[in-house]
Each structure stands twice: as C-alpha cells, then as structure tokens.
Structure 1
Amino acid sequence: MKFICNTKELSNACNNVMRAVSAKVTIPTIEGILIECGSNTLSLTGYDFEFGINTIMSVDVIEPGAIVINAKVLCDIIRKLDNDDITIETNSNSVSLSCGAAQYNITGIDAEDYPELPSVNNGKKIELSQSLLYSMVSQTLFAVADSESSKPVFTGLKFEIRNDEITMIGVDGYRLAIRKESINYNGEDLDFVVPKKTIRELIKLFNLEDDSKVSISISKRHIVFEVDNYSIISRLLDGEFIEYNAAIPKETTTTVLINTQDAIDCIERTLPVIENNQKNPIRCLFDNDQMRVSTVSSLGRVINYTHANTSGARVEIGFNSKFMLDALNASDVDQVKIQLVGPVSPTVIKPIEGDNFIFLVLPMRLKNENQG
C-alpha cells in the first residue's frame, strides 16, 4: 500500500476517527485505526465493538492495500508534522511515513485481524437536518444518565418517531427531558435508544453553518448516522424504558411565568456558598409575584429574589441547583412556565405556549431550618 495526501486533512480525519478507538480494551488491533486504500480514496476506521467511526477521503493512491496502525502513535506523528503532503507506504507489516525532512518507520498490524463492522443494510431510514438534530439533542442529552446508572437503558437517549413527529427523551432518575418536533416522515413507528457517548461524538462532527442532512439507518440492534463524509455506527441499548408520560403530573396547583435568564441569574448567585448540591439544596419560594432563592452551608448563606408572575398556592420547595440550571439553560425561549404541585411532587418546566419541550425536576427534601 502506498498513498500521498495532505497532512492537515489526514490529521483532522485521524483525530475524529480516534475517538472511537478503544481506551479500555487492551487488544492491539482495536487500539489501532484501520487504513484502507482503494482507487484514489482512503478509508479510516476506528471501532471498539460497540461504537465506530469511519471516514472516506480523496487521496493520491499509488498502490491499494490495507493495514492497522496504533491510533495514538499515528495521530501523534501526524500532528507534529509540517503542513505538507505526507507519503505513507507499507511493506508487509512495516509502515514508513515521510513528510518533508521527517521520516518514520513504525510497526503495523495485519488488516485481516481487524473486526468487521456490523451491517445496517436493510435498516429503516430517516433524514434530519444537522441544526434540528443538534437543537433536540442539546435540550435532552443533559438529562441522560451517566454510565454509573443502575439501569443501562437510561444511559441512552430515546428516540420515538411517529407520523410526522420525532420525540427525544432523556432521564436519569432525578430529572426528565422531552423534546418534540414535526418532521416529514410517514413510515412505520420507530422506537430506539442510542448511547449517550454516541450522540456526544456525533454532534462533534456537525457543521451547523453548512447544515446539511444527517442520514440515519436503524436496524434491530445497531444504528448508523451519516454526516458529511463520516459514518458513525453504534449498538442500540436494550431494556424497558420509563413510561415517561405517566411521570408528568396531571394537575397543577401553582403556575409561575418567569423570565428564563432572570431565573438562571437568581439561582447562579447562590452557587458561591454551595459546597455540595446533594447536601445543600437551594430553597425556592414562589409567592406574591416573586421567586425567592436561598441556601445555607458551612461557607455561608445567601438570599436572592427575582420577579415572577405567580398564580395559585404559595410553594416552598427544594432543588439540586445543578438540575434546575441544566433545565433552564436548555430552554431556548425568553420566558418559561414552571408548574408545581406542592413541595414533594416533580416540577414541570415548559414553554409559555405549546409543549415542544418539557423538563421535569424532582424536588429535594428541605431541612426544617430557618434560612431567613
């Protein structure tokens, strides 16, 4: 195998593909990037048995072939080279790289040993714009559980696709995020859960200025996202997902209309004296056209106010400040509606009009202490 390409373009592609290379499994083959040359194209693949990234780029191919090169070594070498053309050539499992005055000889691995990526040839297909997918992910991924969650299916973002509508749902046991959008789709109903890591890596490849389409192919066990000249393949998560609609309170005793940024600022002013969100919840009092936020810790105490249009019963309720801020920051509207059913029921945050997003935050128990 022998090819010549632009060093900067190759470095960018290798760094993107490297994010799918295993950092946990010490198998030399999957610690590497699979490099395959066809006729004037170069394919780069990283894969850790659960998640893979592939890209194809145009290069000057002198001799087709394939080899696996340790991803860290390859990326480190290319990153330090000048922005000239690089020539990569293999002889058996020996790899030579030359760029300007720099020359390297490293050991490669037989490409035959590289695992085959799963196929989604007969999968269901949909297309979404990058901007829409990015917006929906930004408003739901924050609520997806991290890997230490006791229920693995909650470490993924759920997609529900029905006639002309897509819904994404994130949940971690303490909060819930739901985002809906109308789309042009009239195929069969689809439900699947994509790992959080996959979604995070996918949106890193987005070019929102170009806003091209993302093609999505879904099979029973795997999903492929195609964006620009990249393909991301991932396993889907199995398991029983929460009946999220049942978690939304059916009644409201207190409704608060508030400027989103004012609410964020009011809560953020309590942060300097919060040592631990679990030990020091914020105390929110909604009453008399006012949102009053306070907290106390060994570092000190703080009380802050902001205007709010409150109707219904007076409510004093405790929250993890991070969970409330995550929900408010994910709201893409100037004003939000906060719906409460007393101090022990989930709190709903949604737009003033409509329900294209709904956030639920579970309250925290407050100590019976005077916080002023």
Structure 2
Amino acid sequence: MKLVFAKGNLLKSVNIVMKAVPSKTTMPILECILIDASANIIKFTSNDMELGIETIVEGTIEERGIIALDAKIFSEIVRRLPDSYVTIETNDNFMVTITCENSKFNIPGKSGEDFSYLPMIEKNDCITISQFSLKEVIRQTIFSIAANENNKLMTGELFEIKNNILKVISLDGHRIAIRKIELNDSYEDKKVVVPGKTLNEISKILSGEIEDKVNIFFTDNHVMFEFEQTKVVSRLIDGEYFRIDQMLSSDYETKVQINKREFLSCIDRATLLVKEGEKKPIIINIEDESMQLRIDSPMGSMKEDIHIEKEGKDIMIGFNPKFLMDALRVIDDDMISIYLVNPKAPCFIKNDEENYIYLILPINFNAMR
C-alpha cells in the first residue's frame, strides 16, 4: 500500500476517528486506526464496540492496501510532522514507513483483516436536520445527564420524534433538560436513548453550520449519524425511558421574569464563596419586584438584589447554584421566565413556546443550617 496525503487533511481525519479509540480494551486491535485503501477511496475507521467512526480521507492512492496502525503513536506522529505532503507505505510484513519532507518513521502495523468493522446500518429510518441544530440541542441538554452509571438510562439522552417534532431529554435525578426542534419533513414516531458519550463526541466533530446537514438513521439497536464524509455509529441504550410528563405540571404560584445575564452574573459572583464540591445552596427570596440572592459559607457571605417582574406569591427557595448556572448558560434569550410552586417543588425555566424547558429540584436550606 502507498498513499499520499496533505498533512492538513490527514490530521483532520485522524482527529475525527481518535474519538472512538478506546483508552482501555482487552482487544489490542481496537487500539488501532484502520486505514482501508483497498477500493477507490481511503477510509479511516475506529471502533470501541460501543461507538464507531468511519471517515473518508482526501488523498492519492498509488498502491491499494489495508493496514491497522496503533492509534496513539500514529496520531502523535501525524501531529508533529511538518505542514507538507505525507506518504504512508507498507510492506508484506505489515511494517509501515511514514515520510514527510526530511522526516521518516518506521512503525509496525497489524493486519487490517483482524479489525472489527462497524455494523451495517440499513438506511431506511432517517431524519435530516442541520448540523447547527444538532450541535445546539446537544449543547443545551448534555449537562443534565448523569456522570455515573448507576442508572444506565440517565447516562444517555432520549430522542423522541412525535408529530414531526424532535424532542431531546436528559436528566440526572436532580434536574431535567428538554429541547424541541420542529422538523421540516414528515417522519414516523420514534423513541431511542442515545449514549451521552456518543453525543459529546459528535458535537466535537460537527461543523455547526446551518447549511450543512446531518442524516440520522435508526435501527432497533443502533443509531448512525452521517454528515459530510463521516459516519458515526453507536449502540443505543436499552430500556424504557423515564415518564417525565407527570413532572411537567403547568401549575405555578409564582412567575418571575428576569434578565438572564444579570441573574447568571449574580450567581457566578456568589459561587466565589463556595469551594468546589461543597453543597452550599443559593437562597432566593422573591418579594414584590425584587429578587434577593444570598449565600453563606465558611468563606463569607454575599447578598445581592435584582429587579424582576413578578406574578403571584412571594417565595423563598434554595437551589444548587451550579444547576441554575448550567441551565442559564445554554439559554440564548435575554429575558427568561421562571415558574415556582413552593419551596419544596421544582422550578421551571421555559419560554412561552416551550422550545426549551429546564426543571431544577430545590434544596431544603433550612435542614442545612
């Protein structure tokens, strides 16, 4: 095999497939990137058996072939090569020579025939959205998935298609994030749970341009995201996702409209007095046209008043400041609406169209005094 690449094209493709190379595995072949130039195109593939990525690479095939290269050493070599043309050659013993200007590396490869290829996905069940929309909906929900795997379903996000609306939901037991996107075409109803790891990695690859499209294909066990020259295939998470509709009550006793940037900045200042990992609530006291935020910790205390527009009752309630900040950071609106029932019930941050809904459980700050 003999291939020639521009360094920029090679590095871009290596960076894409590195996202599905496992850090630990009992199968050494999976620590490799598969370079397949056995046909008329060059494909790079990685696969950790949960997530797999395949991308087509721009380059010249001088001799066809297939080889698997240790992903870590190959990526580090490519990263450090001069910005010029890179030649990759193999011999019958799977030895690989990488040449770029005056640099020449010889590294061992492995038979490409031993590599675990990505599962075949039938391209029947598909939706198409812009890369911008997918990247945004991931950004606006991914922070609410659970960090540990005690409940596998909480480490993923529900993708639900109903009445030509794509609804994406994440939750971790303390909060829920919901985003809705109106689809341009008519699609069958569908519910799948996509791993958060998959969505995180896809978000890093997507261009985020409105004009660029991504096709999403569903099967019973897998989902495939196809965009530009890249395919990302992931196992789905099995199980029935949580029924959250009963938690999304439209009843409220207090409605607050507030400047988002001002609210976020105030909480950010308050957290200066809280050590990382310390569970100190921010106490919010709503009276008339004013919201007072207060935090007390061994490092000191802080109070600040913000002007608001209020409907309904006065209320005092406590929250984990991080949970509030996570939600506020991904909302693009200048003014936001917060709906509250009582100090023990969750608050809702949502717009009138309910394109986004963020539910956050309160903290019983009286018990922490």
**How many angstroms apart in 2 are the aligned matches of 1:235 and 1:102?**
40
User: Normalising to structure 2: TM-score of the pair?
Assistant: 0.96
Deviation string, structure 1 residues 334-357 (Cα, Å, up to 9, x no partner) = 111111111000101012x22111
Shift of 1:59: 1.6
Question: What's the counterpart of residue 139 of structure 1?
Answer: 140
1:192-216 CA-partner distances (Å, limit 9, x unpaired): 1111111111111222346310011
Q: Which amino acid aligns with 2:179?
A: R
Note the C-alpha offset of 1:128: 0.3
TM-aligned CA distance change 1:316 to 1:278, over 3 Å: farther
Partner AA of 1:258 in structure 2: I
| Secondary structure of 1:269 counterpart | helix
What is the CA distance between 1:129 and its match in structure 2?
Answer: 0.6
Question: Could you say which residue in structure 2 is the equivalent of 1:356?
Answer: 355
1:73 is aligned to 73
Could you tell me how far apart the structure 2 residues matched to 1:287 and 1:278 are? 28
TM-aligned CA deviation for residue 136 of structure 1: 1.8
Q: For residues 239-283 of structure 1, what are the alpha-carbon distances to aligned partners after superposition, in whole Å with 9 as ceiling and x for unaligned?
A: 221111111234111111111111111211201111256521111
Q: Distance in 1 between matches of 2:31 and 2:363?
A: 44
**What is the number of equivalent residue pairs in this alignment?**
368
Matches of 2:105 and 2:26 in 1, distance apart? 24
SS in structure 1 at match of 2:110 = coil
Superposition deviation, residue 154 in structure 1 = 1.0
Check if 1:321 corresponds to 2:321: yes
Give 1:292's aligned residue. 292
Distance 1:167 1:368, change over 3 A: closer
Letter in 1 for 2:354: D
Q: Which residue of structure 1 aligns with residue 35 of structure 2? A: 35
Q: CA deviation at 1:122?
A: 4.6
Aligned in 2, Cα 1:67/1:219: closer, same or farther, shift over 3 Å? same
- Distance in 1 (CA, whole Å) between partners of 2:127 and 2:258 is 37
2:74 aligned with 1:49, yes or no? no
Q: Distance in 2 between matches of 1:330 and 1:340?
A: 20
| Cα distance between partner residues in 1 of 2:325 and 2:95 | 53
Match of 1:8 in 2: 8
Which aligned pairs between 1:185-334 and structure 2 lie closer than 5 A? Answer: 185-209=185-209, 211-276=211-276, 279-334=279-334
**8 Å Cα contact 2:3/2:61 also seen in 1:** yes
Which stretch shifts more, 204-213 or 314-323? 204-213
Q: Say if 1:159 and 1:169, in contact at 8 Å, map to a contact too.
A: yes
**Matched residue type, 1:133:** L
2:90 is aligned to 90
Amino acid at match of 1:295: I
User: Would the aligned equivalents of 2:47 and 2:117 in 1 still touch at CA under 8 Å?
Assistant: no
Letter of the aligned partner of 1:358 in structure 2?
A: I
TM-aligned CA deviation for residue 83 of structure 1: 1.3
Q: Report runs of 4+ in structure 1 exceeding 4 Å deviation.
A: none
Any idea what the Cα deviations from partners look like across 1:35-70, whole Å, max 9, x if unmatched? Answer: 000455210001100001111123211111111000
CA contact (8 A) 1:42 1:58 kept: yes
Segment of structure 1 superposing worse, 181-190 or 83-92: 181-190
What's the CA shift for 1:113? 0.9
CA distance in 2, matches of 1:122, 1:41: 21
Is residue 40–residue 59 contact of structure 1 (8 Å, CA) maintained in 2? no
Q: What secondary structure is seen at the aligned counterpart in 2 of 1:270?
A: helix
User: Which residue of 1 is the match for residue 107 of structure 2?
Assistant: 106
Secondary structure, counterpart of 1:23 in structure 2 = coil
1:101 to partner: Cα distance: 1.3
After superposition, the Cα gap between the structure-2 partners of 1:288 and 1:210, relative to the gap in structure 1 and judged at 3 Å, is closer
Residue ranges of structure 2 left out of the alignment (5+ in a row): none
More displaced, 329-338 or 204-213? 204-213
**Greater mean deviation of Cα atoms: 358-367 or 329-338:** 329-338
CA distance in 2, matches of 1:10, 1:369: 55
Summarize the Cα distance change of 1:269–1:206 in structure 2 as closer, same or farther, 3 Å threshold: same
Supply the RMSD in Å over aligned alpha carbons.
1.6
Q: Is the 8 A contact 2:131 2:209 kept in 1?
A: no
Deviation (angstroms), 1:121: 1.4
TM-score (normalised: structure 1): 0.95
SS state of the match for residue 56, structure 1?
strand
Sequence identity, in percent? 35
Kept after mapping to 1: 8 A contact 2:130/2:209: no
Paired residue type of 2:114: D
